[in-house]
């Protein structure tokens, strides 16, 4: 994946496929400690105990369309080649928590990339799923919660094209703001 935000889109998709109604995405950039961590939590079905130990093996997958599952393996490899760590915990019936950390200035670390586009793609493709996004950048934080947006929209669907274009611009502005650019 060229951007970490594409991994985020992929892992969120895992949660949705597992029947989640809420995806929590947490990005934390601490420049003083030179770390970037990405956490994705869903309230889906969880991963069976027998599977969790080798879930990052590309030949272990729940899918039926083909016999390889690359998503988690790629994310793990991305974290580990940047002196980071990868962790996954899951409880059946409660959901899954995936955690990846990266050395912020590692030469191999892909840029975080276009987060607004990742969030808007999720909202466009899965309008019934709620997303909670938190981004911390050196202590400044930005949060975005589709449940609040939904309440504000008062019955207008989240995937209305005009709404999505508006949200994309707004999210980009807020993220630029916390990054001071």
Partner 1 sequence: MGKLSVSDLKNLKEKVSKDMSLREGKSKILVTVHMGTCGIASGAREVMDALMKEMEEADRQDIRVMAAGCLGMCSSEPNVTVEIEGQPPIAYQFMDANKMRQVFKRHVLKGEVQTDFALAKM
* Of residues 31 and 153, the one with the C-beta less far from partner 1: 153
Report if residue 21 touches partner 1, rule: CB under 8 A.
no
Report if residue 9 touches partner 1, rule: CB under 8 A.
yes
Among 51, 106, 126, 138, binds partner 1 (CB under 8 A): 126
Report if residue 28 touches partner 1, rule: CB under 8 A.
no
Site for partner 1 in 97-116 (CB under 8 A): 114
* Of residues 83 and 175, the one with the C-beta less far from partner 1: 175
* Of residues 89 and 143, the one with the C-beta less far from partner 1: 143
* Of residues 107 and 154, the one with the C-beta less far from partner 1: 154
Measured CA to CA, the distance from residue 181 to residue 163 in angstroms comes to 25
For 113-124, letters b (16+ CB in 10 Å) and e give bbbbbbbbbbbe
For 8-35, letters b (16+ CB in 10 Å) and e give bbbbbbbbbebebebbbbbbbbeeeeeb
Measured CA to CA, the distance from residue 41 to residue 141 in angstroms comes to 18
The count of chain residues that interact with partner 1, using the rule CB under 8 A, is: 50
7 touches 38 (CB < 8 A): yes
The packing angle between helices 71-80 and 4-17, to 10°, is: 140
| Residue 145 to residues 25, 41, 46, 113, 162, Cα–Cα distance (Å) | 10, 14, 23, 20, 18
Among 17, 34, 89, 92, binds partner 1 (CB under 8 A): 17
Q: Where does this chain touch partner 1 (CB under 8 A) — which range of 7-15, 32-40, 88-96, 99-107?
A: 7-15
Contact residues: partner 1, CB under 8 A = 1, 6, 9-10, 13, 17, 63, 65-66, 69-71, 74, 114, 117-118, 120-122, 124-126, 140-145, 148-149, 152-157, 159-167, 170-171, 174, 177-178
């Amino acid at each position: 994946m060229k951007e970490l935000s594409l991994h985020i889109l992929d892992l969120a998709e895992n949660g949705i496929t597992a029947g989640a109604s809420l995806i929590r995405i947490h990005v934390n950039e601490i420049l003083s400690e030179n770390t970037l961590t990405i956490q994705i939590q869903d309230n889906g079905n969880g991963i069976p105990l027998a599977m969790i130990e080798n879930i990052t093996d590309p030949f272990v997958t729940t899918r039926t369309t083909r016999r390889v599952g690359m998503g988690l393996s790629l994310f793990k490899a991305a974290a580990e080649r940047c002196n980071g760590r990868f962790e996954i915990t899951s409880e059946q019936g409660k959901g899954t928590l995936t955690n990846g950390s990266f050395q912020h200035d590692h030469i191999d670390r892909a840029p975080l990339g276009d987060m607004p586009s990742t969030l808007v793609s999720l909202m466009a493709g899965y309008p019934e799923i709620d997303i909670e996004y938190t981004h911390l950048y050196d202590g400044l934080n930005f949060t975005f919660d589709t449940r609040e947006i939904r309440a504000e929209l008062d019955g207008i669907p989240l995937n209305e094209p005009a709404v999505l274009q508006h949200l994309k611009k707004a999210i980009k502005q807020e993220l630029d703001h916390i990054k001071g650019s």
